[in-house]
Amino acid sequence: MSNSSISLVIASRNRAEVIERFLKCLTGIEWPKATEVIVVNNGSTDSTAEILKSYLNTLPLRIAEMPLKGKSLALNRGITQATGDLIVFADDDIEFRPDWLMQWSEIAGRYPSYGVFGGKIRVNESAVPNWIRRSHNLHEMLMSEHDLGNAPKPYPSNRYPIGPNMAVRRSLLEGIDTPWPIDLGPGTRIPLGDEYGFLVRLSRPEAQDRLYVPSPEVVHTPDSLSFPNAVRRCFLGGLAAGKLGRRYRAACLSAPMGRLMRDRLASCHSLRELCCMSVRAAGVTA
């Protein structure tokens, strides 16, 4: 078994303090061979550009520019710069162990039959309201928690990795000009759904080429989760799901959206959760 070369691709916009903290943490990790870090500056107007340049001599860093606002646009630009066998996508606000990228490199070599990988994402719950903590439905939807257990396993039908910690083989992207959907994701009218729109083009919902792996674990701190923000995010998530369902109808036939939504509504533990799930359902059909 040989380890794979890694391209870590990050998009950042006007989060100078956040990206500086991320890069500083990278200086203390274990580096797999042939690793590159590609940070796409997505039209930042703060000190992001200067901070990135200050790390050119201490990290295997490559800086790319995407002046037009949009995370998907930025990630598409980053992909064009990537040379690694495995492209790791992450958010700039995650926390990780020193062996994070080493784990990704070893996993890509250990499981050659899989092309799409999702890592465990734990959540810093210090600022998460109790009603969201109690909700199974909202953990991934609002907190980006992604935990399928402590052992590697293939993803079930229509289940995919999520953005703060996932990876794909670069070979899957050959011949695709804009793999990330530029009309979805942060910086667009519907700032969600971009990960599914990206991954469903690489792996059909029923395919068995996606693997969940717990070892490259990260910790993610969610954005503000006040009740109004939660409702808004659920509605936008529903809009994204409906848009993607119509766009990839043939690919998504295996996803019983109506039954899934009914099950989620029936499992709600509070009126706030029920409100969030009802608003999401409305967004799907909007």
Q: How buried is residue 286: exposed, middle or buried, by Cβ count under 10 Å (0-12/13-18/19+)?
A: exposed
Total count of residues recorded for the chain: 286
For residues 220 and 123, the answer to whether their CB atoms sit within 8 Å is yes
pTM of the model: 0.93
Task: Report how far residue 222's alpha carbon sits from residue 127's, in angstroms, rounded to the nearest whole number.
Answer: 8
Sequential pLDDT tens for the chain (286 residues): 578 899 999 999 999 999 999 999 999 999 998 899 999 999 999 999 999 999 999 999 999 999 999 999 999 999 999 999 999 999 999 999 999 999 999 999 999 999 999 999 999 988 799 999 988 889 888 999 999 999 999 999 989 999 899 999 999 999 999 999 999 999 999 999 999 999 999 999 999 999 999 999 999 988 889 999 999 999 999 999 999 988 887 555 444 555 555 666 667 778 999 899 899 989 988 8
DSSP state of 224: -
Token digits of residue 52: 């990135």
Distance in Å from the first CA to the final CA of the chain: 49
Nearest-5° angle of CA 225, CA 13, CA 162?
55
Torsion of CA 70, 17, 98, 39, to 10 degrees: 30
CA pair distance 136, 157, nearest whole angstrom: 19
**Could you give the CA distance from residue 286 to residue 273 in angstroms, rounded to a whole number?**
20
Q: Which of 142, 280, 274, 118 is nearest to 209 (CA)?
A: 118
How high is the pLDDT of residue 88? 98
